[in-house]
Structure 1
């Protein structure tokens, strides 16, 4: 189960988005806590909004007073309303919102049923509910709930998305939607520190990204465009500007992703370096043989060549963990020119030189320590999930096309409801 938490100051927008779904028959109210109910047993947008607004002090120092969360079970999970209600109760209690007013909506407008919860981040005295390490604690809570109710682990959602995301095929039409779907999966699941590493990942989906720089009236602008390709990497369609897809795939968001990835990959570098070294010490004679042996190590390699056939870049990708590392990031001994020299003369294998690359036993001892460190980071701090949730405009990055439409619609409704609220106040 994946929880997506957001903090906002727009209570009308958060409630309006969900009540609009109810009005259209695309959602229903599962549960409420500390909220007014009419004599007919109904809850209305106006009553719930008035109830919650009355609890927010006029001079409240907390700007983003609204808690909005969606709980997303695995797509293959089929839960009853009673189960979802109980899960919502236990989740809010464990996160510290058990005594808060809140309302739970079940959305059924897409195949993957999920729930949304709207609450307040301040208590009756105007004090902020503790949100320290909120997303980390949320992950621990959902993990506990998965075990308690024997749910499909949320980690399998990402694995399934990676496996099921198809290559871009311009003959199928809807090119922008195909590109958006692939990007959502990649930017959510993978870590990378350069556009070159990102391109190595995108190549598996017949897609490439290019940085564009322009100047207008003396001001410099930077952006990204995404271009569909064929299996050989040749462009087969017009570029699609990132702004036509959404902020979550734009220049700033990708730069933020790369910056945050630099810390996350540190424990992984020595792990992948060791696996590459072990593979190269088997002395593969051809690039294809190298690819096959790396696959046995759980790695994929993308080799880049210039027109003369010289290797000028290599990127090693672990699809399961979700990381891409250029050879140079592994160390000088794994730079492109080393692989170019090796494949020019496979009889001479520098990777067998223990003076340069160390002995296998020492390397193995080091990798065991690093793997233990990485496991500690994953278990104790949920590092990967923290990075995903803290991404710029993270709400955009989901695993299905319908989530993207939902988020766009949510933004629209928030703007509309904000205007309506202002009008009512006047």
Structure 2
């Protein structure tokens, strides 16, 4: 058995992902945990609202939703719903979620048996569940015990992970004609839509374009735009649409414009830490040196940050978006500040950026671990040069203690 745990900012998105599969007859909700009524008595609205109401007890928890997949060996096709329910219940108990409300979905859209568990990190008393290292510690222990108890095929230690995982983007660019278009686009969307924090269609397309996919609303005068429609297209190596567009409603999880707008709202508030990481990476790339746009792009890619440029038919650059594959965050340049907009980046590429010692010190504090060498260089630049008026302690004259009148040394 392979257990994959992911957390997110929106319980609605995770819930809808599973419920949409139920609507398309490729999944089934087989169990619930700690709900006030039986599964067959609950509507989908009640299922979601019950989770959301408990989340309202602590609105300070931003990554509040939990999405777990338990994946079994392809040979274990005989696992009954009752046994899968038992496995899910025991697993949730052993990782510290035994008292949390959760839903269990059995999926039928892969070549191996697997279930998905939807839950939340906020307890009934409003406290947050700490999930640091839960995959390495509690989950790994639970996996081994469950494999032994239920006689499951054991996951080999260190084996290469396959498609059973809810991985971040590991897929390559789609090549038109090499794989069925709809299946290829669905594969990309399934990874991007539920992993990256994008707050607009351009930000989403900044990620999708890297995999030769584009979400298209059409021109403002087009029928598809006026009816709030959306299609997905495959792009060629030049970034031009190719092949027949596919309606968003044709995909089993319905990534329509309405669906995306819910994602935009959920992702609107982004982590300032993630924004700061991108800004510092850009500033340090310009640190006291002249950098071209190509060199900047290359420097940022080393840190997992991709630059996506937007230009008009005349080739004039009018927009820039940063996609951070490390934090799964997407930011338009203007959202980071004027210095990081398309116009400002072009200007900065033509000048040398110098920083004062105070600014250098601030930048050093926010450097990622991978920039140790650069941090060391900044340390050297900031090092204080001591003057020669230092006198060792042993050469200093000792100051005699003055004894107060009438005071004994034995007191």
Q: What's the TM-score once normalised by structure 1's chain length? A: 0.56
Secondary structure of the 1:352 match is coil
Does the 8 A contact of 1:284 with 1:290 survive in 2? Answer: no
2:115 aligns with 115
More helix as a share of residues: 1
Deviations 1:34-78 (A, max 9, x none): xxxxxxxxxxxxxxxxx968x969xx9x95499999952368899
Asked if 1:232 corresponds to 2:238, the answer is yes
2:177 aligns with 171
Deviations 1:19-42 (A, max 9, x none): 9x9xxxxxxx9x999xxxxxxxxx
1:146 aligns with 139
1:202 aligns with 208
Secondary structure of the 1:189 match is coil
Separation in 2 of the partners of 1:324 and 1:292? 18
Q: CA deviation at 1:111?
A: 2.9
1:162 aligns with 169
**Residues 176 and 132 of structure 1: CA distance in aligned 2, closer, same or farther (over 3 Å):** farther
2:312 aligns with 306
Separation in 1 of the partners of 2:297 and 2:327? 18
Secondary structure of the 1:300 match is strand
Q: CA deviation at 1:339?
A: 1.9
1:120-139 equivalences under 5 Å are 132=124
Does the 8 A contact of 1:197 with 1:325 survive in 2? Answer: yes
1:318-333 equivalences under 5 Å are 318-333=324-339
Does the 8 A contact of 1:169 with 1:175 survive in 2? Answer: no
Does the 8 A contact of 1:105 with 1:117 survive in 2? Answer: yes
Deviations 1:397-422 (A, max 9, x none): xxxxxxxxxxxxxxxxxxxxxxxxxx
Q: How many residues align?
A: 310
Separation in 1 of the partners of 2:173 and 2:251? 17
Higher relative contact order (CA 8 A, sep 6+): 1
Gaps of 5+ in 2: 6-10, 52-65, 145-154, 369-411
Separation in 1 of the partners of 2:26 and 2:106? 12
Secondary structure of the 1:258 match is helix
Q: CA deviation at 1:269?
A: 0.9
Does the 8 A contact of 1:303 with 1:314 survive in 2? Answer: yes
Deviations 1:374-399 (A, max 9, x none): xxxxxxxxxxxxxxxxxxxxxxxxxx
Does the 8 A contact of 1:270 with 1:367 survive in 2? Answer: no
